[in-house]
Chain A
Amino acid sequence: MEPWLDVIAVLLILANLRLLGTSRLSVCIQTVAAQALLLGAVPLLMHADELSARLIAIAAVYTVIKAIVLPWLLRRAARELGGTREVEPFIGLTLSLLVGMGLFGVSLFLAGPLKRAGQGHSGLLIPVALFTIMVGLLVIISRKKAITQVVGYLVMENGIYVFGVAFAVQEPLLVEMGVLLDVLAAVFVMGLTIYHISREFDHIDTDRLSTLKD
């Protein structure tokens, strides 16, 4: 099963790049869902020879929440808010891709010292985890709409999940479940907030929001 981890790591990188390169909101949401689906498979592949019911259950819950429920909520929010279906980046999409490539280099560099700590799995998982976290941050700071910031937050959470899985056997998955619960709550709150911002100001452009004066 080990070789497949490499393939999944590469697919995760590709999903990140797609997130940076696309101009459509729906593709962003779809990509986050696909990424979560891939992530659900990671712990199963890592412990393919010692599968326990608990592991499968945790992976299944994770996949259902992150690949089905959250994207569904986001899609609904995007639909009800209306407006344009483009992501409206501060920096161009091509430049985003190039910055993303640079971030991957940085995360490979940062992952060097961490490699010894996480053993017995593909050497790519830790750089990919760092890369995913950074891409999430990049999406949060480089896109105008509030809903893309939620997407960035989810991507960051995906990265944290990979990080946890790469280092841990089973216990940190429990911690992860706690984080996941937080994210679920946060997305609900953000969904409500976006809705109210939109109702109050007729747009969800955080750039314009920050220039408000009292």
Chain B
Amino acid sequence: MATAVSILHVVLALVLAPLLLGVINRVKAKFAGRRGQPLLQAYYDIAKLLRKGAVYSRTTTWVFRLGPIVSLAAVVASLLLLPLGAVVAVVAFPGDLLLWVYLLGLMRFVTVLAALDTGSAFEGMGASREVQFSLLAEPALLLGLVALAAWSGGLSLSQLTGTHSTGWLTGTAGAITLLVSASWLAVLLTENARIPVDDPNTHLELTMIHEVMVLDHGGVDLGLIQYAAAVKLWVFAALLAGVLLPVRTAWPLVNLAGGVAGVLAVAMGVGVIESTMARLRLLRVPQMLVAAAVLAALAVVLVLR
């Protein structure tokens, strides 16, 4: 039963991931007083792109074609390792949290390689920024994982979120939960190129990061990249929701429903942040990420004290 629910989580994640983008856009539209695009717009976009053919520049090599495929494969593999609150992951073993982090690292790496393979100075710039920011975001993510691992005494992601019962906001557990969540929220926004760090809507400005790396991809490749980005958003939102949500019942299906509701709530939160905040100056982004890492380090200190 528990395994079936775990598999159901992966299926739901694969099906619902583009919906998160729709939810974010709908929240932003409501804030702006617009009606907004359809909730399922991301699905239409991806379906349209998948029907198209791809055009490859003569300067690119197989690395460029490999990028989207490997990044989608890596993010789906990371989904298999990911628990959703009390819903354990399909694959869980001690130390899988490092594999999980490095699968996401692999995804970023192949995207950067594909961007560099085009030989475009513009894409190189985007790649450089992407790497710079994720270099600073990774300590925050890892320190948060270390804090929770030391607190729960397990080295597997499923143990981390499964046994970490948040006594809501009270006590050391609550403090650790809040610190790690705040830190991971910054990581989520950075890794998914959301607003305080990067604007997912601009294709014109010189300050964009993620979008600039995929400028030369088209057709099926772009569709795969957009889908992989949506799944990545789901992965981070599920991690955050899994830690924050106090849904730890004996019924796996209830846990799953609570977790999915939590993921949607995180998407709404991202929408609110995007509507109410302006993008940070590029020079201020590292400061935000260092602050996030400091919060996570504080959580580690609280656990180890």
A interface residues, Cβ below 8 angstroms from B: 3-4, 6-7, 9-10, 13-14, 17, 21, 93-94, 97-98, 100-101, 104-105, 108, 123-124, 127
Name 15 interchain pairs, CB-CB below 8 A, sorted by A. A4-B170, A6-B170, A6-B171, A6-B172, A7-B174, A9-B175, A10-B178, A10-B179, A13-B298, A17-B294, A17-B298, A21-B287, A94-B286, A97-B291, A105-B301
Decide: B287 and A6 in contact? CB cutoff 8 A: no
- Tell me the nearest residue of chain B to A93, going by C-beta: B287
Complex CA gap A93/B295 in Å reads 15
Q: How many whole Å from A30's CB to the nearest CB in chain B?
A: 17
Complex CA gap A4/B167 in Å reads 12
Q: Which residues of B sit under 8 angstroms from A104, Cβ to Cβ? A: 298, 301
The answer to whether residues A97 and B301 also contact, given A4-B170, A6-B175, A7-B174 and a CB cut-off of 8 A, is no
Q: How many whole Å from B126's CB to the nearest CB in chain A?
A: 23
Main secondary structure of the interface of B (DSSP, over half): helix
Q: How many A-B residue pairs have CB under 8 A?
A: 52
Decide: A97 and B179 in contact? CB cutoff 8 A: no
Complex CA gap A127/B304 in Å reads 14
Decide: A101 and B174 in contact? CB cutoff 8 A: no
Contact with A along B148-169 (1 / 0, CB 8 A): 0000000000000000000101
Decide: A98 and B175 in contact? CB cutoff 8 A: no
B39 beta carbon closer than 8 Å to chain A: no
The answer to whether residues A97 and B294 also contact, given A21-B287, A108-B301 and a CB cut-off of 8 A, is yes
B50 beta carbon closer than 8 Å to chain A: no
The answer to whether residues A98 and B305 also contact, given A3-B171, A7-B169 and a CB cut-off of 8 A, is no
Decide: A7 and B175 in contact? CB cutoff 8 A: yes
Decide: B287 and A10 in contact? CB cutoff 8 A: no
B297 beta carbon closer than 8 Å to chain A: yes
Decide: B305 and A10 in contact? CB cutoff 8 A: no
Decide: A94 and B175 in contact? CB cutoff 8 A: no
Q: How many whole Å from B99's CB to the nearest CB in chain A?
A: 28
Contact among B171, B178, B297 for A101, CB-based, below 8 A: B297
Q: How many whole Å from B301's CB to the nearest CB in chain A?
A: 7
Decide: B294 and A123 in contact? CB cutoff 8 A: no
Q: Which residues of B sit under 8 angstroms from A108, Cβ to Cβ? A: 301, 305
Q: Which residues of B sit under 8 angstroms from A21, Cβ to Cβ? A: 287, 291
B47 beta carbon closer than 8 Å to chain A: no
Complex CA gap A31/B295 in Å reads 17
The answer to whether residues A101 and B169 also contact, given A6-B175, A7-B175, A17-B291 and a CB cut-off of 8 A, is no
- Tell me the nearest residue of chain A to B171, going by C-beta: A3
Complex CA gap A123/B169 in Å reads 18
Q: Which residues of A sit under 8 angstroms from B92, Cβ to Cβ? A: none
Q: How many whole Å from B208's CB to the nearest CB in chain A?
A: 23
Q: Which residues of B sit under 8 angstroms from A10, Cβ to Cβ? A: 175, 178-179, 298, 302
- Give residues 171-225 of B contacting A (CB, 8 Å): 171-172, 174-175, 178-179
Other than the known A10-B175, A97-B287, what 9 A-B pairs have Cβ atoms closer than 8 Å?
Answer: A3-B170, A9-B175, A10-B298, A10-B302, A94-B290, A100-B294, A101-B294, A104-B301, A123-B305
Q: How many whole Å from A19's CB to the nearest CB in chain B?
A: 12
Contact with A along B272-298 (1 / 0, CB 8 A): 000000000000001100110011011
Q: Which residues of B sit under 8 angstroms from A6, Cβ to Cβ? A: 170-172, 174-175
Q: Which of B287, B294, B301, B302 has the most CB of A within 10 A?
A: B294
Q: Which residues of A sit under 8 angstroms from B295, Cβ to Cβ? A: 14, 17
- Shortest Cβ-Cβ A-B pairs, 9 listed: A3-B170, A3-B171, A10-B175, A94-B287, A94-B290, A101-B294, A97-B294, A6-B172, A6-B175
Q: How many whole Å from B302's CB to the nearest CB in chain A?
A: 7
- Tell me the nearest residue of chain A to B168, going by C-beta: A3
- Tell me the nearest residue of chain B to A8, going by C-beta: B175
